């Protein structure tokens, strides 16, 4: 079946460093991608999205990169803070499917 | 910030009980969804709705049922709860924008434990 997967289930970085969370997707028909952040005991929170006609999009301290050639998506968080500790999910919309497919999730831990 | 609410936040019940998990959104979104999620794991779509009187089954088979009588309300019901239903249930909604770019906004979730 179709899947969105993450390369690493856990990632630890030092506070203040930049972090990169990766995501591989398998469906070349996917045309829209979203990164969500989920803190313990809460629902996923929208961070940033990108359409397939773009290869980069920036937000506040976050950047999403899309490489359609290798079907790879990444989320870069600049100058990580303790509040960035969470599980991060990528999700893809397969064109015509009208629903999102979520990946496994990466747990990001910020070390003081 | 999305205005989507779920009640109860936590529920512990015995096997065989009937339960309804409530979800409401005040954004007027047409589309609503229910996901099941085990701790730290991926989300699995169990039901969704395109609008009033529309309900569809998701990718993960579920013994639950849903209804959509009003735009803002999308309750999920388990007729007879079992321990295998223990999980977190997340509700989401999105505004239909076409072109497959509907951003889903999530509620806080209901943590269900069936003893």
pLDDT of residue A27: 87
Note whether B43 contacts A96, CB cutoff 8 Å. no
Distance CA A2, CA B102 (A): 19
Least-confidence region, from A13-17, A68-72, B38-42, B66-70: B38-42
- The β-bridge relationship of strands A45-51 and B19-25 is unpaired
pLDDT at B97 over 90: no
Q: Which of B40, B50, B108 has its CB closest to that of A87? A: B40
pLDDT of residue A110: 95
pLDDT of residue A35: 96
Residue range B51-80, pLDDT digits in tens: 999 999 988 878 899 999 999 999 999 999
Asked whether B109 and B45 are in contact (CB, 8 A), the reply is: no
DSSP annotation string for B36-90: EE-TTS-EEEEEEESSTT--EE-SS--S-EE--SBTTB--EEESS--GGG-EEEE
Q: Which residues of A fall within a CB distance of 8 Å from B107?
A: 43
Q: Which residues of B fall within a CB distance of 8 Å from A45?
A: 106
Q: What distance in Å separates residue A64's CA from the closest CA in chain B?
A: 16
pLDDT at B109 over 70: yes
Residue B29 three-state SS? coil
Flag whether residue A27 sits within 8 Å of chain B, measured between CB atoms. Answer: no
Asked whether B84 and B112 are in contact (CB, 8 A), the reply is: no
Flag whether residue A42 sits within 8 Å of chain B, measured between CB atoms. Answer: yes
pLDDT of residue B102: 79
Q: How many CB atoms lie within 10 A of CB B115?
A: 10
Q: What is the mean pLDDT of chain A?
A: 89
Band of residue A1 on the pLDDT scale cut at 50, 70, 90: very low
Per cent of chain A over pLDDT 90 is: 70
Residue A12 three-state SS? strand
Q: What is the mean pLDDT of chain B?
A: 92
């Amino acid at each position: 079946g179709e899947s969105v997967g993450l390369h690493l289930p856990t990632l630890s970085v030092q506070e203040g460093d930049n972090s990169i969370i990766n995501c591989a997707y398998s469906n070349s028909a996917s045309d829209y991608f979203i990164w969500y952040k989920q803190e313990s005991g809460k629902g996923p929170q929208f961070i940033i999205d990108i359409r397939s006609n773009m290869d980069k999009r920036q937000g506040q301290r976050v950047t999403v990169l899309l490489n359609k050639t290798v079907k790879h998506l990444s989320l870069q968080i600049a100058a990580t803070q303790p509040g960035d500790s969470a599980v991060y999910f990528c999700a893809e919309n397969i064109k015509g499917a009208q629903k999102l497919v979520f990946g496994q999730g990466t747990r990001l831990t910020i070390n003081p | 910030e999305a205005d989507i609410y779920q009640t109860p936040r936590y529920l512990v019940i015995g096997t065989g009980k009937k339960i309804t998990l409530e979800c409401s959104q005040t954004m007027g979104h047409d589309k609503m969804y229910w996901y099941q999620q085990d701790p730290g794991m991926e989300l699995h779509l169990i039901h969704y709705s395109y609008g009033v009187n529309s309900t569809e089954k998701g990718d993960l088979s579920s013994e639950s049922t849903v209804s959509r009588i009003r735009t803002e309300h999308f309750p999920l019901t388990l007729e007879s709860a079992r321990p295998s239903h223990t999980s977190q249930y997340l509700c989401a909604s999105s505004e239909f924008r076409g072109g497959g770019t509907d951003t889903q906004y999530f509620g806080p979730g209901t943590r269900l434990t069936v003893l």
